[in-house]
A and B are shown apart, each in its own frame.
Chain A
Amino acid sequence: MLELTQVTRSFGATVAVQPTDLSVRPGATTVLIGPSGCGKSTLLRLMIYLIRPDGGSVRFEGTEFSADDVLRLRHRIGYVIQDGGLFPHLSASDNVALLARHLGWDETRVTARIDALADLTRFPTDCFDRFPAQLSGGQRQRVSLMRALMLDPDVLLLDEPLGSLDPIVRSDLQQDLRDIFCTLNKTVVLVTHDMGEAGFFGDVIVLMREGRIVQQGTLSQLINEPADNFVERFIRAQRTALHVLEEGAES
């Protein structure tokens, strides 16, 4: 699906991503996690070519990203960022429909698709005429998710999608997001710095540090077979969250 081969990227003198290989498993949710500045967001943006790699290649279903292909490939990838990145001058429904209308969809098709997405993301339809400034944080993220899913992409990339939400809204949306991922059975890559969230979503967890992948595997692999001292420390530091999670899973 998404294949990163020996990808590197620096910003000035700072190396954000060391030579890295990563193969994203189709139909699964991959979580990129690590302390801030570890290069996880950079890696995610490399996957949709918002940032170009200095070296190595990024392939989407075998096609390497290039200037000619970038628009076409992006149409098959949905992208959601912290706080939604909604366009403040457009209403919720116009935000969702922007790309489809640009591609020439007729209004019946647009409306039908938006209604289906509202259903899926549990977005109240009477809020469609509202502008982003009139929506709550959780509603904004649901609109952003709808916008990303409008063309029914193969891959969904999410950069700390729950990062700016308060705890109650956050846990509601967390649950809904996982349900949506399960329902759609899409390939998902999600960036977070929260181990609890990583365990909650991740079929595969990729732990990064200083521009490198330190370990990738399931949550239990990371807990039971830490690759090094850093993995152990990182997991221990976030233990409290994991306890809650494990208890919840048991009951």
Chain B
Amino acid sequence: MHELSLMEGVLALIEVERRAQVFSRVRTVRLSVGALGHAEPEALRFCFDAVVSGTVADGATLEIDIVAGQGWCQGCERQVPLPERYAGCPICGSPSVRLTHGDELRLAELEVN
């Protein structure tokens, strides 16, 4: 359940932003989470309320944008969609695919007031 630690990471980043930019309340927390990454969106949601309870983000809405998997295939010499992380190129079958999207785990933006 490392999603709990990841959510604590969100809170730490919110505190950093709060020192730099004045706001009293976080209304929305928007994350970018890769479809092929190591965090489970449902587990992130599960932890969110518990982690932000009693903080500046108490009551905030969590929005998670899923970033689809994509990679650069050396065989095709172009970007290809990647439904699985370790399965190779779905078009030409080459194992030489470098993951370019789908591993994200970012705090994208905050809606505050």
Q: Do A and B come from one complex?
A: no
A interface with B by C-beta (< 8 Å):
none
B interface with A by C-beta (< 8 Å):
none
